[in-house]
Amino acid sequence: MHAILRATDVELFYGSQRALCGVDFTLGAGEVCAITGSSGSGKSSLLYCLAGVLAPTRGEILLDGVPLHSLDDDELSTVRRERFGFVFQYGELLPELTVEENAALPLRLAGRRKTKALEVAGEVLGRLGLAELRQRRTSQISGGQSQRVAVARALVHRPDVIFADEPTGALDSANAEAVLEEFLTLARSQGTAVVMVTHDASVAARADSQYMMADGSLARRAAV
Ligand SMILES: Nc1ncnc2c1ncn2[C@@H]1O[C@H](COP(=O)(O)OP(=O)(O)OP(=O)(O)O)[C@@H](O)[C@H]1O
């Protein structure tokens, strides 16, 4: 399997606080990976580094063999916008936009025409059970519905890698299953890779690979 993302010996400090140490990680194209670990163990920090949002203090992150730190700000923004999709814990939707406008945002930023972008967003929203809410402003939907809109927005432009921090945290089991199915379908059909942080053991068990984060160190868990 072609390695799309590779981290070698990554360390991250926030001031004097060490959040990551000696992290090695490889993600194959089309691989769905789950990272678990206790609160404060460094899971979100790792996602931020892998996604080029934070620069590691030591070590490097390679995307298709190219070190993220070799890209200038514009190139990094383009990578994040076009090749990555994000469902972050505090990833806010824009309250003045409707559900479908929020979900269509990555396509609009990529220059797609509004009608086409809304049509594609509508299909994804439908698969996530949100068809009825398309025209609703996101200030008028529930937390779990917002989370699914954020998932739709992360995958609408068919990115190469989706980074998801607790993407099913606010969802009941049926909706968590719908989100996971979307990830797995994209991975199998488009070769999209997914790195997701989750506390949900049943979600993690469905991933292709599982890792455990403890005190800034990452360890692969054997398949059961
Ligand atoms: N901006 C920051 N400044 C200083 N320390 C930080 C910052 N963000 C995180 N930390 C610290 O870095 C460590 C790792 O935090 P991180 O958020 O990556 O953990 P996490 O495993 O994602 O936690 P949670 O499951 O609670 O979201 C923790 O000790 C945290 O207190």
The residues that bridge with 66 in the sheet, in sequence order, are 63
Which are the contacts of 208, defined by CB distance < 8 A and separation ≥ 6? 31, 32, 33, 187
What is the rounded distance in angstroms from the CA atom of residue 67 to the CA atom of residue 57? 14
* Ligand 1 binding pocket includes 215 (Cβ within 6 Å): no
**pLDDT number for residue 91:** 62
Domain edges within the chain: 1-83+161-224, 90-158
Is ipTM > 0.85 here? yes
**pLDDT number for residue 224:** 59
- Which of 14, 36, 88, 165 gets mutated to test ligand 1 (max ligand atoms within 8 A of its CB)? 14
Mean pLDDT of 46-72: 95
What residue owns the CA closest to ligand 1's atom 28?
Answer: 40
**pLDDT number for residue 71:** 95
- Reported as a single tens digit per residue, the pLDDT across 155-178 is 999 999 999 999 988 888 888 888
- Reported as a single tens digit per residue, the pLDDT across 121-155 is 999 999 989 999 999 999 999 888 998 999 999 99
* Ligand 1 binding pocket includes 40 (Cβ within 6 Å): yes
Distance from the alpha carbon of residue 117 to the mean position of ligand 1, in angstroms: 35
The domain covering 1-83+161-224 belongs, at the CATH homologous superfamily level, to P-loop containing nucleotide triphosphate hydrolases (3.40.50.300)
* DSSP structural state of residue 168: T
pLDDT at 213 over 70: yes
* 10 and 61 Cβ atoms separated by less than 8 Å: yes
* Ligand 1 binding pocket includes 17 (Cβ within 6 Å): yes
What is the rounded distance in angstroms from the CA atom of residue 57 to the CA atom of residue 216? 13
